[in-house]
Amino acid sequence: MVQPIVLYPDPILKKVCRPADWRDPQVQQVAQDLVDTMQAGPGVGVAAPQIGHDLRIFVVDVTPKHPGHGLLVLLNPEMVGKEGSVTGREGCLSIPDFTASVRRFSKILVQAQDLQGNQRILESEGFEAVCLQHELDHLDGILFLDRVSCLKTDVFRRKGVQPRFDPQEYPQGAQS
């Protein structure tokens, strides 16, 4: 089912999420809700804390607009390889007020479980790799504004949106 998106500064967005057990029916439900929520909205990825669950699950699908693996549902993902760097403009469904320039690795290896408990390793680059890093961060309570090197010059107000807070007062790096 499509779920409402949790918005910053909800404290769940700053939590380090707990491991997800694929045998737990709640985990399967959260995964399905993430898929439904992503497909109903403008986002190319949604992580469990963004729909109110502190579980290490996210979904990403950058296709067909960008090359990628199609729909990815990842449980307990970890970045096990990384190289290069790329700086691009990012946004987040939980912070609809702003976009920002963020530096990421350009190519990564991610190890994760699927919904049947199979371990897999995924190689990703380009826009998909950036999205995966953004969603990986969500599972550790890190938002894209935490990755901005200068809150004064690298954050941009979205057109037609009245910002709910001053980005220069965003408490970078704070998490519990």
Residues in contact with Zn ion by the rule CB under 5 A: 92
Sequential DSSP letters for 17-38? PBP--TTSHHHHHHHHHHHHHH
Closer by beta carbon to Zn ion, 73 or else 92: 92
Nearer to Zn ion, 21 or 65 (CB): 65
Count the neighbouring beta carbons within 10 Å of the beta carbon of residue 85.
10
CB of 92 to Zn ion, least distance (A): 3
Residue facing Zn ion at closest CB distance:
92
Rounded to the nearest whole angstrom, what is the least distance from the CB of residue 25 to Zn ion in the complex? 26
Per the annotation, the verdict on 125 as an active-site residue is no
Q: Check if the beta carbon of residue 59 is closer than 8 Å to that of residue 71.
A: yes
Single out the catalytic residue among 78, 128, 135, 169.
135
Of 27 and 91, the one with the shorter C-beta distance to Zn ion is: 91
Smallest distance from Zn ion to CB 85, Å? 20
In the complex, the smallest distance separating the C-beta of residue 94 from Zn ion, rounded to whole angstroms, is: 5
| Alpha carbons 77 and 47: distance in angstroms, whole number | 11
**Pairing state between β 57-60 and 45-47:** antiparallel
Residue 65 CB neighbours (<10 A): 9
Q: Which is nearer to Zn ion, 4 or 25 (CB)?
A: 4
- Dihedral Cα 52, 62, 81, 120, nearest 10 deg: 80
**Phi, psi (rounded to 5 degrees) for 119:** -75, 140
Q: Which residues are catalytic?
A: 135
